[in-house]
Amino acid sequence: MPAARPRLVVDACVHDAGMRTAILDYGAGNLTSVQRACAHLGCAADIVRDPSALAAADRIIFPGVGAAGAAMARLAESGLAAALRRAIAEGRPVLGICLGLQLLFEESAEDGGVACLGVLPGRVVRLEPADARCKVPHMGWNAVDFAPDEPLAQGLPDRHFYFVHSYVAQPGPGVRTIAESEHGGRFCAGVRAGSLVAVQFHPEKSGAAGLALLGRFLASA
């Protein structure tokens, strides 16, 4: 975690201390790193494991690492899938991260085909770089190109973020692609639909740039 933190972003989060921030725990998230990043920004975020706690949250962070099939099974069995769909339908701010982006779509090609949350039209496919030198899974730092008017990208100290993934989203109609990156070809690195925003990279592992982006979400939410 960087020693320096973005001053304006931190101030915005500290002034917003009354907001209840939930980090969704469904057994597939990088929870501690996300919680520490929030704390670094002056935001006390709770790791929640049951639908009632999620229902009480003002804003939600939906992280994820691992496989789509097992993750969706845990979300469904715990009741968190329905609670998350409800929160999104109500317009509560949600930030999806990595697998948390992919599970928002209708289906994923992972594990032989998995029905996902279906809150966004589109599907998730295996990353297939045109350049054979680009390995899968894609792991490492990449430059990210954001839409010029995307609020989360304003004032970032850097545009390089850390990725760990083998699948990418192909958004359908009504989903705005707000970020793209490249790994043997261009791929979707971020989407937005109203107050729901999600990124393929890991802000919590992306140094000052990741903290700034996470802080922008917390402040705007």
Whose CA is closest to 168, among 214, 211, 109, 219?
109
Active site residue 204: yes
**DSSP assignment letter at 204:** G
User: Residues 13, 38, 43, 98: which is the catalytic one?
Assistant: 98
Alpha helices, DSSP H only, in 66-165?
68-78, 80-89, 99-102
- From CA 202, how far away is CA 176, in angstroms rounded? 19
- Answer for the pair 176, 192: CB distance below 8 angstroms, yes or no: yes
Residue among 83, 82, 90, 99 nearest 168 (CA): 99
Q: Indicate if 110 belongs to the active site.
A: no
Contact 105, 124 (CB under 8 A): yes
Catalytic-role residue among 138, 165, 183, 202: 202
HSE at residue 11, side-chain half, CA atoms within 13 A, is 3
Q: Which of 13, 43, 138, 204 is catalytic?
A: 204
Scored b (16 or more CB within 10 A) or e, 185-197 reads eebbbbbbbebbb
Q: Is 180 a catalytic residue?
A: no
Contact 85, 114 (CB under 8 A): no
CA distances from 71 to 74, 82, 84, 204, 217 (A): 5, 14, 14, 20, 24
By annotation, the residues acting in catalysis are 98, 202, 204
